[in-house]
Amino acid sequence: MSKKLLFVSIALLAAVSLSACSGGPIRGTTWPGLAADDNTAYLADGPHVYAINLKDGQELWRYPANSNNDLAFFSTPVITADGQIIVGSAGSAYSLVALNPANVDPETNAPVEAWVFTGAQDHWVAPPLVVGDTLFAVNADGNLYILDLQDGQSNKQAVKSIPVEGRLWAAPVTDGERVFITSLDHSVVAVDVNTYELLWHEDVEGAVPGSAVLGADGMLYVGSLASQLIRFNPETGEHSPVLESEYWIWSTPQVDGDTLYFSDLEGRFYSFNTETTGLNWPPVQPDGPITASPLVQSESILLATESGSVYALDREGKVLWSQDIGGKIYTTPVSAGGLTLVAPLEADFYLAALDQSGRTVWTFTDEN
């Protein structure tokens, strides 16, 4: 091989290798966001947001009609009371988009944008929180953006932006008086839901990639990458760890009466009693790491693992059934229309609908 050919070959190889790692609206850059109402599933999966009919798994529409570098979707879509779909983009435009599914362009089969907000400086990873007519949206640029849903603006401007610091990847939650925000910058913040004043800002030991959750005892619970479940007084921010887990807690804990269910990144599943501040039973460990939050149902609790399996457990931690879906599951499963929706990465399909026994009813993939 000549020197020229050798150089050109390796240079091309280097360019391709580096290009393969770059961002852009490529499916698989991170895991998809999934939401559903009674009839439709909304899957934010790379270049598009898909609306999928729950009855048969057929695509109803997609947004945008044609993919472009400005838009990449991984954040969980939010369905508002008036039926709009709000979803943040991780593409180069850093836009937060509200779609009107009732107004789909017949030519492109894409819904019309009700409004777009482009005032943020980084990716949208977290879904926004809707409180009445107000939207609380946190961005990876470290700011909380507060938007008025009823101001009629199509190119929306923030009513206020509050610097929280750190990358904000988790959905804010509210107790009706305060909005609680968790940050990868090892902190948890409370903002007044009406005055938008910063009420408290508390540091914790590790990054907090999941949302906070309000327990039945009225306290706020947060899992951290420092392997701690931390309990906060929502009024004052006073806090202390109530459980040291075996490994990093990624997912948002889920409330079931006095019990909090959560998992760690080595795949242990915990059942924590907020009244006794102890575990109800020793952690169970299915077949792989767990980033998805558990899905609490009346009959069972569903767990999705990185190994591509879905487990149904009873409230004593006993496995009722398990199903190998394929791929890697990081996205929290969603229950809608009598089905359980699972959105794996690296599988032959984008979305699977399971019945109550874990059997696959249909799968969806982008045929285009």
161 binds another protein (CB under 8 A): no
18 binds another protein (CB under 8 A): yes
31 binds another protein (CB under 8 A): yes
3 binds another protein (CB under 8 A): yes
221 binds another protein (CB under 8 A): no
Distances (CA, A) of 136 to 9, 107, 261: 50, 33, 26
32 binds another protein (CB under 8 A): no
Size of the site for another protein (CB under 8 A): 41
Q: In the complex, what is the shortest distance from the CB of residue 187 to another protein, in angstroms, rounded to a whole number?
A: 12
**Which CB, 11 or 102, lies closer to another protein?**
11
367 binds another protein (CB under 8 A): no
Query: Where does this chain touch another protein (CB under 8 A) — which range of 24-32, 111-119, 272-280, 313-321?
Result: 24-32
Q: Which one of residues 115, 330, 349, 364 is an interface residue with another protein (CB under 8 A)?
A: 330
Q: Could you tell me which of 346, 315, 319 has the C-alpha nearest to residue 330? A: 346
Q: In the complex, what is the shortest distance from the CB of residue 285 to another protein, in angstroms, rounded to a whole number?
A: 16
Q: In the complex, what is the shortest distance from the CB of residue 75 to another protein, in angstroms, rounded to a whole number?
A: 10
184 binds another protein (CB under 8 A): yes
Give the integer Cα–Cα distance in Å for 77 and 40: 12
Give the integer Cα–Cα distance in Å for 17 and 39: 42
**Amino acid letter, 106:** P
94 binds another protein (CB under 8 A): no
Give the integer Cα–Cα distance in Å for 98 and 114: 5
4 binds another protein (CB under 8 A): yes
Length of the chain, please?
368
Q: In the complex, what is the shortest distance from the CB of residue 115 to another protein, in angstroms, rounded to a whole number?
A: 26
Q: Which one of residues 93, 131, 219, 226 is an interface residue with another protein (CB under 8 A)?
A: 226
Query: Where does this chain touch another protein (CB under 8 A) — which range of 190-198, 206-214, 255-263, 278-286?
Result: 206-214
291 binds another protein (CB under 8 A): yes
> Which residue ranges make up the site for another protein (CB under 8 A)?
3-4, 6-7, 10-11, 13-15, 17-19, 21-23, 29-31, 74, 90, 123, 125, 140, 166-167, 169, 184-185, 205-207, 209, 225-227, 248, 250, 265, 291, 330, 345
